[in-house]
Amino acid sequence: MNYFSSGFKLGILGGGQLGKMMLFDTRKFDIQTYVLDPSEEAPCKIACDKFFKGDLMDFETVYNFGKQVDVLTFEIELVNLAALVKLEEEGLKVYPSPKTLKLIQNKGVQKDFYTKNNIPTAKYGRFNNLKSLIVDILDSKTSMPFVWKCTEFGYDGNGVKVIREIADLDELPNVECIAEEMIPFKNELAVIVCRNPSGEIRTYPVVEMEFHPEANQVEYVICPARIDDKVADKARVIALSVSEKFNHVGLLAVEMFQTEDDEIIVNEVAPRPHNSGHYSIEGSYTSQFENHLRAILDLPLGNTDSKVAGIMVNLVGEAGYSGNVIYENIEKILGWNGVTPHIYGKKQTRPFRKMGHVTIVNADIKEARRIAEDVKNTIRVIA
């Protein structure tokens, strides 16, 4: 099929920053894009060929949108699965497949999948609601501390909480959830796997993630991870195994823990471009966004090697600020070598909302990490 400068239409469900960064590559290749998002101010709106406002969880909205395009993908998992199933049954190419998404969309189902397929993961319990979890704790069947996760609608640290005492449960919603054993770990790692329908598969280098202690979201992504080669090889092998079991097409970000004794266990996955791969825009021969496009269109995959060491710093809303966004001191970092800011186009900031990121590339990973700290301490996202 001729995708370039043609009548071909690619549909993207979700119009956030991941879609916006994907659109950079559709414009580079002159591929027509249609985007569906519930917000009139979605970041994608400025860069797609046609923008549709609508509810991603509504069957009719997603189904009717899908009927207008030739290939359908998504940049967020919270979409109407039944509509995707019907579209695929009617012959539309949907990547990643609804079959894959069904195993990932609910974190309880995702954890059961790891157990059934002998993928190493933390021990856990599944609960229909918070009340049944509390009963389990009171019966001494679930012991603290543990990590509480809602099974659906969680994102960027929302829907995840460390429970150390019963009072920590007070503010949580009464929804389906999992209670996961807390794993003592050295590092949080991630590997992005890229796969096309023809079966060509590549992995990006293992990255290391440093988290904000309060917001429970990634603060820095470091590539390559500062770990032993044997551990990195083990992480890539496990990521490839996870990809094979899910039989996914497109990108699959596999988040993992490196335990104190250097075992690798899988935390969770995302079937789309991912925060842990943003460094690749400047740092890799082929960015994760371009490779997602190549994969879903069954084109040859690009080189996933890094050109240079890269660190990504997330720009998030400062605590105590909500309203029209102001990026304070951004002009200062523009004069620094190897530093590239990406502003997502969200007009309203709030505490810990992801508003952009900055990539630092440098031949010396230690120097890149030092500059990343300076970037973090210089820019403030306020209102």
Residue 332 labelled as part of a binding site: no
Give the span between the Cα atoms of 29 and 372, in whole angstroms.
32
Residue 328 labelled as part of a binding site: no
Nearest in space to 278 (alpha carbons), one of 222, 323, 324: 222
Give the span between the Cα atoms of 119 and 125, in whole angstroms.
16
Residue 263 labelled as part of a binding site: no
What residue type is assigned to position 315 of the chain? Answer: L
Give the span between the Cα atoms of 193 and 204, in whole angstroms.
7
Give the span between the Cα atoms of 82 and 58, in whole angstroms.
10
Residue 182 labelled as part of a binding site: yes
Residue 165 labelled as part of a binding site: no
- The dihedrals phi and psi of 350, each to the nearest 5 degrees, come to -155, 165
Residue 41 labelled as part of a binding site: no
- For 283-318, the three-class secondary structure string (H helix, E strand, C coil) is HECCCHHHHHHHHHCCCCCCCCCECCEEEEEEEEEC
Which tokens hold the place of 215?
Answer: 């917001």
**Cα angle 324-329-332, degrees, rounded to a multiple of 5:** 145
Please count the CA atoms within 13 angstroms of the CA of 144 that sit on its side-chain side.
15
Which tokens hold the place of 63?
Answer: 């189904």
Residue 180 labelled as part of a binding site: yes
3-state secondary structure of 113: helix
Q: Parallel, antiparallel, or unpaired for β 9-13 and 71-74?
A: parallel
Classify burial at 369, counting beta carbons within 10 Å of its beta carbon; exposed 0-12, middle 13-18, buried 19 or more. middle
Residue 312 labelled as part of a binding site: no
List, as residue ranges, the binding site.
107, 149, 180-183, 188, 267-268
Q: Which residues are annotated as a binding site for ATP?
A: 107, 149, 180-183, 188, 267-268
